Amino acid sequence: MKKNVLVIDDDAVIRKSFTLALEDTGYQVDTAESGEKGLEMQKNARYDLIFLDLNMPGLDGTQVLQEIRKLDDRVPVYVVTAFYQQFFDRLRAIEKEGIKFELLKKPVDGERILLLTKSVLENPGCIRQEEDKDE
């Protein structure tokens, strides 16, 4: 069965970079330009993996994450952010609520997007970094 990936980011260049990195993989990649749009899409489809920008106008990443978790507690959600302290303050509030998320550091290149996506969506669920070889 085809795996579905959702990318939620207000930056069109970032959305494009994910789409390009994952083309020819066989995964279905959907993109949303806002948190509101992303939530709407999540309500209408089942995703196996979500990439979520932290800093967006309107609903920001933490608000979107909270709403995602109300709908689906299992889907892996990677919060995509530069690792600056002021951004992390928002995530600490989420942490206190016990809401599950992972971190993906910006900027992220196509090779690493592909590496991570394969590690999440394919057996055995792990992959070696840098040398980019499977077991």
Partner 1 sequence: MNELRIYLFLSSETPHSLMCVKNTRLALEERVGGQFDLEPVSLLDHPELSEERDIFVTPTLERTSPHPSVKIIADLSSIRSASAAVRLLLNDNEKK
Binding site for partner 1 (CB under 8 A): 76, 78-79, 83-85, 88, 91-92, 94-95, 98-105, 108, 112, 115-116, 119-120, 123-130, 135
What is the smallest separation between the CB atom of 86 and partner 1, expressed in angstroms? 11
Helix (H, G, I), strand (E, B) or coil at 29: strand
Q: How far is the CB of 124 from partner 1 (least distance, A)?
A: 4
Contact 112, 17 (CB under 8 A): no
Smallest separation (angstroms) from partner 1 to the CB of 127:
5
Q: Smallest gap, in angstroms, from Cβ of residue 44 to partner 1?
A: 26
Looking only at the bridges linking them, the beta strands covering 28-32 and 49-53 are unpaired
**Encoded tokens for 80:** 């995509």
Between residues 16 and 92, which has the closer beta carbon with respect to partner 1? 92
Nearer to partner 1, 24 or 135 (CB): 135
Task: Report the residue number, 32 or 54, with the smaller CB distance to partner 1.
Answer: 54
Q: Which residue has the tokens 């800093």?
A: 55
Residue among 44 and 123 whose Cβ is closer to partner 1: 123
Cβ-based burial of 113 (10 A; exposed 0-12, middle 13-18, buried ≥19) = buried
In degrees and rounded to multiples of 5, residue 110 shows phi and psi of -60, -40
